[in-house]
Structure 1
């Protein structure tokens, strides 16, 4: 029986996860993953993408195991009902009711993953900085207010602003549980916090020089917010114990 999550009430816990450095990929411990996760990790055309996926899911299982006080391989997942259609493809959740207040979200992109935990619905997103062609192709699909903001910027600033905007939008839609089945033009997630969707707190996150990050939390700002870098050896054999220690440790700001 679990003792409940090591997450103080009102706390938003965020973890950055880096793919293993070159030369240490073979040390990645896949034993905590289930068969479907291992198959998915092996299916990527680019091996580095498979390593990023595997690193993110090892981290998620080991972090959930630490918060819920259960072995990582025993963590099982389900999908909550979609708010739009009611079908089971909404927010991911832990399948067994170890603790109903622990919500989580996972995102990964090009060597970096971001994991968020809270006692209410949460969505996170991390994305590599966008190319100019991506900005040009995706801007027409945005909310009219976002298009107006981006159009007022010079091309260099527009690329940077679009990257921050898009991660906010993805984090919010993941927090809602709809993902991009809810069109990107519906909600304003631009630079003006007062115009963003009511009932949600949306924050930009520092995720390194090559990535943008964001978190969306249902309700007002958290009582405490912690952003930490998961230790590199947490993904290797025996690393689950280190994850438990890191969860319990007083965080050092990233």
Structure 2
């Protein structure tokens, strides 16, 4: 794999239904192993381990480094200038983002700031409750949607919002009501990603123009 230039590479990967002992986790560093071990359920450890091993595989292919030699850091937070902004590779200008939920892992890589997010459709009552924290225009869209469709609409908006906030590097340190993510935002390209039924996924790239997105369903190819 070569490092993206004007385009964006995205991987949508299914978490294997195996135990942690069946995964190749040799590339993970000490901190990743420590965090993985904090999960009580083996399924959660598998999801975390698989996601972070896959991220290292992707980034190694794009940078030419060995997966186990990659070192991560954090950019400064735009909200407070603290060291907890976007994750970065100090050894490379490549930008990347990771998200996972249930059995789906999403990895994005680009030459511009990037955020990806994947969300399952929540129960109706949860969607209606959380919709109140969104931008007023987004909240109105959900209210005007038939009840049976509100979970999917909420999941789409929330995935777009999380992707944008990850790209900014603020996370939810920036109010969820601050931005209307139904379309592009100044200096940012936002788009939905087709990842299968039951999920909503989105990509945000710090680019003033649309980006060519290549979506992969496996680590090779």
Q: Are 2:3 and 1:7 equivalent residues in the alignment?
A: yes
Would you say the 8 A contact 1:17–1:55 is kept in 2?
no
Q: CA RMSD in A?
A: 1.4
Aligned to 1:228: 216
Deviates more, 1:164-173 or 1:124-133: 124-133
Structure 1 residue 133 displacement after superposition: 2.5
Aligned to 1:50: 45
Structure 1 residue 25 displacement after superposition: 4.9
Name the SS of the counterpart of 1:21 in structure 2. coil
Distance (whole Å) between structure 2 residues aligned to residue 163 and residue 36 of structure 1: 31
Matched residue count: 220
Aligned to 2:188: 200
Return 5+ residue gaps in structure 1 as ranges. 232-245, 250-254
Q: What's the TM-score, normalizing by structure 2?
A: 0.95
Among 22, 29, 35, the alignment partner of 1:27 is 22
Runs of at least 4 residues off by over 3 Å: none
Structure 1 residue 120 displacement after superposition: 0.4
1:93-108 → structure 2 map (5 Å cutoff): 93-96=88-91, 99-100=92-93, 102-108=94-100
Among 6, 12, 17, the alignment partner of 1:16 is 12
Return 5+ residue gaps in structure 2 as ranges. none
Q: What's the TM-score, normalizing by structure 1?
A: 0.83
1:77-156 → structure 2 map (5 Å cutoff): 77-96=72-91, 99-100=92-93, 102-156=94-148
Aligned to 1:71: 66
Name the SS of the counterpart of 2:119 in structure 1. strand
Name the SS of the counterpart of 2:11 in structure 1. strand
